[in-house]
Structure 1
Amino acid sequence: MSKTVSPQDFAFVFRLPTRWSDLDMLGHVNNSRFFSFDESARLEYFGELMRDDPTFWKQRGFILARIECDFLAQLHHPAQVDVGFRIARIGRSSMDTLAGMFVDAKPVATSRGVLVWYDYEQQKPQPVPDDVRALIRERERIAPEE
């Protein structure tokens, strides 16, 4: 069981509306959509880096190595989902992510992932660059473990 998260744990929050197509036959947002919510927040979190670095996704970047999710409450449409996203740990070549998904500040899901910094030309992991570490440290409310 994961530790309870709150919106205050996150300096970065990305708001997403649910869509009719997110629903399953039981009338709630399907569990697979929470992984898409995590992905959207993750890409927005790193958006500044991706926009300012022409080598991103061509020569360097990250790849998702692992993701898991705890479903805490049913989510019904329509809703605005606030996805708090942060880097909880920065290792030599990997980063642990944490996302809390909230509706009206009530947690509905928590996801955790592992990102690996990757050299796309050599097709292998590389150390997390200092500029990426600095960007992460600068934007986090809770300092990542290093």
Structure 2
Amino acid sequence: MQQTLSQQDFAFTCRVPTRWSDLDMLGHVNNARFFSFDESARLEYFGELMRGDPTFWKERGFILARIECDFLAQLHHPAVVDIGFRIARIGRSSMNTLAGMFVDGKPVAVSRGVLVWFNYELQKPQPVPDDVRALIRAREVIAPEEN
């Protein structure tokens, strides 16, 4: 990872406690769980952002096209993971996401994803709407790249 990750980079955060069932046979939180942490933050981010839009999740929204994760430190149970989530780039019909996962202020993982804005009725990608772009721009402490 090239940059130093800080909780202050994220306007949106949520907390997720680890569970006993998250552990692998070595006693670590299993790496697959970090994708679930990202999912929790992503859904809460957009749930709050689009709360006033009755068409969201019914007619329009996004689909996850890609996700990856860098594991920075071992995570043991019990712990509370603070997840910062943001939109790092907005393209024509896609968005790049960044989620920083922290325990006691220290980064334990960072995930990056690609979301595609999607029309559920037509079952095809569409350009990210101007109203969604404006909501994202207004929320973020680090302005997303746009192209």
Q: Tell me the TM-score normalised to structure 1 length.
A: 0.96
Within a 5 Å distance, the mapping from 1:1-146 to structure 2 comes to 1-146=1-146
- Which blocks of at least 5 consecutive residues in structure 2 are unaligned? none
Give, in whole Å, the separation in 2 of the partners of 1:52 and 1:29.
Answer: 36
Q: One-letter code of the match for 1:145?
A: E
Paired positions, count: 146
Give, in whole Å, the separation in 2 of the partners of 1:75 and 1:115.
Answer: 27
- Structure 1, residues 88-108: CA drift from partner, whole Å, max 9, x if none? 000110000000000011000
Query: How far is 1:52 from its partner?
Result: 2.0
Superposed CA RMSD in Å reads: 1.0
Question: CA 1:2–1:36 in 2, change beyond 3 Å: closer, same or farther?
Answer: farther
Q: Tell me the TM-score normalised to structure 2 length.
A: 0.95
- Which blocks of at least 5 consecutive residues in structure 1 are unaligned? none
Give, in whole Å, the separation in 2 of the partners of 1:124 and 1:53.
Answer: 20
Provide the secondary structure at the position in 2 that maps to 1:112.
strand
